[in-house]
Amino acid sequence: MHSTLPLRHFLLALAVVAVWGTNFVVIKLALGHMPPLLFATLRFAMAVLPAIFFLPRPAVSWRNLAAYGLLIGVGQFGLLFVAMNGHISPGLASLVIQVQVFFTIGLAMRLSGERLQPVQWLALVLATGGIATIVMHTDGSTTVLGLGLILLAAMSWAGGNIVSRKAGQVNMVAYVVWSSVFAVPPLLALTLAVEGWDAVATGLRQADAGTWAAVAWQAWGNSLFGYAAWGWLLARYPAATITPMALLVPLFGMGGSALMLGEGLPAWKLIAAALVMGGLALNLLWPHLRARLMAR
């Protein structure tokens, strides 16, 4: 397994994080034409079809697939889309949802009985300081409700991470496709119950080519291409080489939102981003740095 990325593979990893980051801008644009839960329903339906006819079901239980589909489909993306429908800006959404890293660590430690190390506590304090900064500056574009929904989405993402780990080494693209089967029915039920048939009909009528392109981007670009390329890279390079690239996702999210949607980047937002990203970077990079120092 190589430890150094050649240029073409570095560009592939950069393309994945760019897709994942700018995806928040795509979501915001699509929500201008379609209600959030309908958008989520169509996103997961398109992830299932037609891919499910070409990918064999992973060798995991139906219960595992259902749990992942519900946590990621309904919990993560359902809440994310609702939050971004006027309750939080795309740039901040791309930043705050990354605290799923800490929720994942917390859930894993609760299950294993381990305790946080001092460096992990410091990382958590930094990220918490960033979230607190956002709370102190909620306004018309970012509300406490939106922030709370994004944190719940991050918790759901963390739960999905734990479930997928229990699945073991599987084809992640096939896993996403087959688990999405379990996301569509509850999302559709919530769409009809919360948004109503009139909103569904209006959303489908208003959807233009750009809206359907956004749905396809969500299903095929964000999920299928993203997971396939990321999994391919992780199979060929150490996680320590690939995983830190994920720290660029909020940079693409905030930068893309500023460039394409005109989202402002005042000092407090940059400070919040620095605190959250600093906590994430410290938590992610410290174990590798410590291992190198101890090897000397």
Q: What pTM value is reported for the model?
A: 0.85
| Whole-number Cα distances in Å, 180 to 47, 68, 71, 164 | 7, 8, 10, 13
Mean pLDDT of 262-276: 84
pLDDT, one tens digit per residue, over 121-177 is: 788 888 888 888 887 877 667 788 998 999 999 999 888 888 888 887 888 889 989
**Domain count along the chain:** 1
Neighbours of 32 (CB within 10 A): 11
pLDDT tier, 4 (very low <50, low <70, confident <90, very high otherwise): low
User: In terms of pLDDT, which residue wins out, 257 or 244?
Assistant: 257
Give a yes or no: residue 144 inside a domain.
Answer: yes
Tokens of 134: 């956002």
183: enclosing H helix or E strand: none
Mean pLDDT of 261-289: 80
Give a yes or no: residue 97 inside a domain.
Answer: yes
Give a yes or no: residue 57 inside a domain.
Answer: yes
What share of the chain has pLDDT > 90, as a percent? 32
Among 174, 252, 261, 290, residue whose Cα is nearest residue 13: 252
pLDDT, one tens digit per residue, over 48-105 is: 989 899 999 999 999 999 999 999 999 999 999 999 998 988 888 888 888 887 788 7
Max CA separation in the chain (angstroms): 66
Which domain does 196 fall in, by range? 7-295
Give a yes or no: residue 2 inside a domain.
Answer: no
pLDDT, one tens digit per residue, over 193-247 is: 999 999 999 989 988 998 999 999 989 988 888 888 887 787 677 766 777 777 7
Among 220, 218, 205, residue whose Cα is nearest residue 84: 218
Give a yes or no: residue 260 inside a domain.
Answer: yes
Give a yes or no: residue 1 inside a domain.
Answer: no
